[in-house]
Amino acid sequence: MISIKSEKEIEIMAENGRLLAQIMEKISKKVISGAKAKELDELAEELILKEGAKPSFKNYHEKNSPSFPASLCVSINNEIVHGIPGEKVFKQGDIVSLDLGLKKNGFHSDMAVTLGVENIDSEAARLIRVTKKVLKLAVKKAKIGNTFGDIGNTIQRYAQAQGFDVVRELCGHGIGKELHEQPEILNYGKRKTGPRIEQGMVFCLEPMLVMGDWRIKKGKDGFSWVAKDDSLSVHFEHMIAITKKGPKVLTKT
C-alpha cells in the first residue's frame, strides 16, 4: 500500500531534505583526486549527527542480507549503487556516485549525485549530463493522475535516445517513516501502467544509467551492484512530494 503523507509530515520531510542537500553539497566538494572515500563517509556521519539526525544507511539491512557498514554509499565507475567507502581513493578521470540518507523527527530523506574527478572522459561527462537531465524529466512527469509507468517510460525513452540504457533490476521507491516504502518505481516501462500518482505521495526517483549493457552483478565487496560488462554507470536521486501545485523536489537547498 502506498502511504499518503499529511501536509505536516511533508513539511518535516522537506526540512530533512534541505538538511540532507546541504550536507551532500559539503561532502561533494571533497570529491577530488587523492581524497579517500572513507573520509567522506566520516564527514557525512559527523554532519548528520551534529544536526541531531541519524544516518539512514548505517546498519541498514534488508531481509537475508548483512547490515550496511557505512553512512555514505560511494560507488565508482562501473559500480552503480551501494558501494562501501572503505579504502577507495579517488583519481583523475573517475566518476563517483554519492548516495546518502538521514532520519530526523521520525522521517527519512534520501538523495544521490554523481560527480567527475577533474578531467573526465567526454562520454563519461555526457552520461552524467544525460542522467541529470532525465531525472528532471522524470520529476516533471510526476503529476497527479499520471502513472508510475509514465515516469519509467520517460526515463527509458530519453536514455536510449541518447545512446545509453537504464538498469532494470534496481529502482526508486516510496519513503517516509521507513527508508524503503511502496511503490517500487522502475526506470523503464509502458505509459499508463502501474499505480496512479496522488497528492500526498512522497517518493524517490533515481535513474541509473549505464554506458553499455543494462545487466548487473554483485560487486566484490558484497554490497555494491556493478555493470555486468564493467561499463561506466551514473546515478542521481531526488526525493519529491506530490502537491496540488505539482511535484516538489524536497532534496535541494
Query: Which domains occur in the chain, in start order?
Result: 7-249 (3.90.230.10)
- The answer to whether the CB of 115 falls within 8 A of the CB of 185 is no
Query: For residue 202, which of 223, 169, 180, 171 has the smallest C-alpha distance?
Result: 180
Give 189-246 pLDDT, tens digit per residue. Answer: 999 999 999 999 999 999 999 999 999 999 999 999 999 999 999 999 999 999 999 9
Give 8-58 pLDDT, tens digit per residue. Answer: 999 999 999 999 999 999 999 999 999 999 999 999 999 999 999 999 999
- Per-residue confidence at 78, pLDDT binned at 50, 70, 90? very high
- Strands, E, within 105-180: which ranges? 107-116, 165-166, 172-174
Q: Tell whether pTM > 0.95.
A: yes
Strand, coil or helix: what is 249? strand
> What cell numbers appear for 189 in the block?
516501462
Q: Which positions ≥6 away from 81 have C-beta within 8 Å?
A: 73, 75, 97, 99, 112, 170, 208, 224, 225, 235
Strand, coil or helix: what is 182? strand
